Amino acid sequence: MTTRHLLASDLDGTLFPSRPDPRHARAVARLHALVGRRPDLALAYVTGRNLALSLQAVQQWRLPWPDFLCPDLGTAVYRRYGERWREDTRYRRRMERAMGGVTGEHLLAVLAEIDGVKPQDPAHQSPFKTSFTLAPGQPGRRTVAWVERTLRDLGYQLSCVTSRDLHSRQLLLDILPAGVDKGTSVTYLQQCLGLTSADVVYCGDSGNDLGAMRRSFRVVLPANADPELRRRLRETGCFDGTVPRCYLSPHPHLWGVLDGCRYFGIT
């Protein structure tokens, strides 16, 4: 059947909470039911996790297997073929060109010299995503501005994306190819599926979802979404108009996603 809609969602904090919730199983059952009765709906998970950790989360929380996985903050795209996953090599070549020859190893060495910037564990590094934590108590915006200035001085055209860890609330910093964010992978899927931006619903709760939400997709924020994310989205005007493009659900996590799907007519 022809795909008519794409539901793209963050994982941590959006499709599942930071701690076990006895009500969550009912929400998961409803998501399975939605996917089952809508064969024209494509499902994509867009996450900061790598592929292995993404698959682990899907199993742990018993979520429906998606048609697509966009791990490492959308710097990779995988398509599901039965029980196997295959990377989209055309998208990978796009990322390679966008990096401009800069390697993650070099970025780790250069930026680790900046006070308050600490590389994350190797499991959180990937060919096109270099990840750091910012020291507690540090002026986060000032540190990020210093990182951006350092990259510019080196002649690198790269993007800095900030978010907060779901559990520790520690400020995180990811360095991505120029102009790339989670929305880059979702736009790529939209084009591959022959959809318009109005056919895409994107769900997320934290700062690294902002790039996708600033695009012209339909947007769902669960009630637990970061207040800073809500504030920055309001500045774009996407909550305005007779039919707002962005929906803030009164329900948290997956219940909010399901509520947003109903709001945008995906039932």
Instruction: Verify that 85 and 202 share a domain, yes or no.
Output: yes
Per-residue pLDDT of the chain (267 residues; tens, 9 = 90+): 699 999 999 999 999 998 888 899 999 999 999 999 999 999 999 999 999 999 999 999 999 999 999 999 999 999 999 999 999 999 999 999 999 999 999 999 998 888 889 999 998 999 999 999 988 766 677 888 889 999 999 999 899 998 887 677 788 999 999 899 999 999 999 999 999 999 999 999 999 999 999 999 999 999 999 998 999 998 888 877 656 799 999 999 999 999 999 999 999
Instruction: Verify that 80 and 150 share a domain, yes or no.
Output: no
Distance separating alpha carbons of residues 74 and 115, to the nearest angstrom: 28
Domain boundary among 161, 177, 193: 177
- Prediction pTM value: 0.93
Instruction: Verify that 87 and 192 share a domain, yes or no.
Output: yes
CATH number, domain of 170, equals 3.90.1070.10
List 163's β-bridge partners, or say none.
Answer: 172
In 3D space, the residue among 111, 113, 131, 135 whose CA is nearest the CA of residue 122 turns out to be 131
Instruction: Verify that 254 and 192 share a domain, yes or no.
Output: yes
Domain boundary among 132, 148, 177: 177
Instruction: Verify that 88 and 103 share a domain, yes or no.
Output: no
Domain boundary among 119, 142, 177: 177
Number of domains making up the chain: 2
CATH number, domain of 253, equals 3.40.50.1000
User: 171 is in which domain, residue-wise?
Assistant: 98-177
Tokens representing 53 are 């950790």
Terminal Cα distance for the chain, rounded: 17
